[in-house]
Amino acid sequence: MEQTEKCMRSPEIDIAKGIGILLVVLGHAVPDANTGIQNMFWAVVFNWIYSFHMALFMAMAGVLFFRKAVACQSWEEKCRELKNRGGRLLAPYLFYSLLILAAKLVFSSLSREAISTRSIIEILFGNSPCGNMWFLWTLFSVSAIVLLAPKSNWFPLPLLIVSTALYFLQNIGIGNMDFGIGKICNMLVWFSLGMLLGKNIDKLNTLHKCSTSTKTLLIVGIVLVQILILKIRPNTAFPLAFKYLAAVSGIALTIAISILCAECEGKLADILQCLGKNSMCIYVFSYFVQTPGVTLYRKLGSCGIPYHIWVIALTVFALLFADIITKIVRKNKVLKFILLGEK
């Protein structure tokens, strides 16, 4: 289809992913997130980040996947793409899930959750004992659904409508579904939204024609809308609708900032683009710094270290660790596939 050439990888997408992974690592660095955040400033930052950060990642994945989704027409092409994505996403998912399951069995006294035989079965359905690995399973499942979904000139709009309905049903009508179905219902909507953006990437790029002041005003406007949404959400009779709007506005804000950064072509844009290109590596490896760090804080307390230093230090160390380990792992083909799903 002619649409398949529209969604080429652009600096803005990598910058948006870079902003997203920076927010993810920062959010995971809040040490008392699971027990109640005591610092008011970081509580606000944490709630803001968690209002859209994973929706942003799914949307960017959807933008990049649109071209492949419409290009795979035959069953042979679809199966080949599923095989490729299975290796990329499920290989590291299974490895880390089984690794952390074994570690939690050995160090059960330090684990927040009890491990049982059910835990092994749940791994197959996206409930990984390795906290952040659920995203890889969900991304693969969502990609499979999109590949198998019927395509027309309207694609992916019908899928976005259906997935939006499933999103609301999952959260208000059906409740929390088991066996990973709930995760799919919560994330398919953002993947579909990303594909719609991918289909209309040319129209999105018209923002480049706007002046810097216009783009800055747009960013300020979106920020004010976000503040209003997050302020109203706890007190409204329709919290889920505002949760949805908070995620949409967060995605819009990140894209607007990414376009502005890409045009500046400075050091910041280069750093964010680099983070975006290595976002999966950072997402995977940062876990092995931040989880022990958060566990130490929970067991020992702050040890006299200021709260801000805890958060910033965990963020910086996680990023540095991920960068170092990624460079080492990529030198070995076997490790590269097992740990990162790269060939």
> HSE-up of 250 (CA within 13 Å, CB side)?
27
CB atoms closer than 10 angstroms to residue 326 = 19
The DSSP secondary structure of 257-270, one letter per residue, reads HHHHHHHH-SHHHH
What does pTM read for this prediction?
A: 0.88
Block residue for tokens 């002619």 = 2
Quick one: pLDDT at residue 4? Answer: 39
| pLDDT one digit per residue (tens) for the chain, 343 residues | 334 334 456 788 999 999 999 999 999 998 887 778 888 898 889 999 999 999 999 999 999 999 888 888 888 999 999 999 999 999 999 999 988 888 877 776 555 555 666 777 888 888 888 878 899 999 999 999 999 888 888 899 999 999 999 898 887 765 455 667 888 989 999 999 999 999 988 877 777 778 888 888 888 898 888 888 887 776 665 788 888 999 999 999 999 899 888 888 788 889 999 999 999 999 999 988 988 888 888 777 777 788 888 899 999 999 999 999 999 999 999 999 999 999 8
Block residue for tokens 């590949």 = 147
**In whole angstroms, what is the distance from residue 124 CA to residue 90 CA?**
10
N- to C-terminal Cα distance for the chain?
28
**In whole angstroms, what is the distance from residue 137 CA to residue 152 CA?**
27
Evaluate whether 42 touches 311 at the Cβ level (below 8 Å): yes
* Structure tokens belonging to residue 116: 């049982």
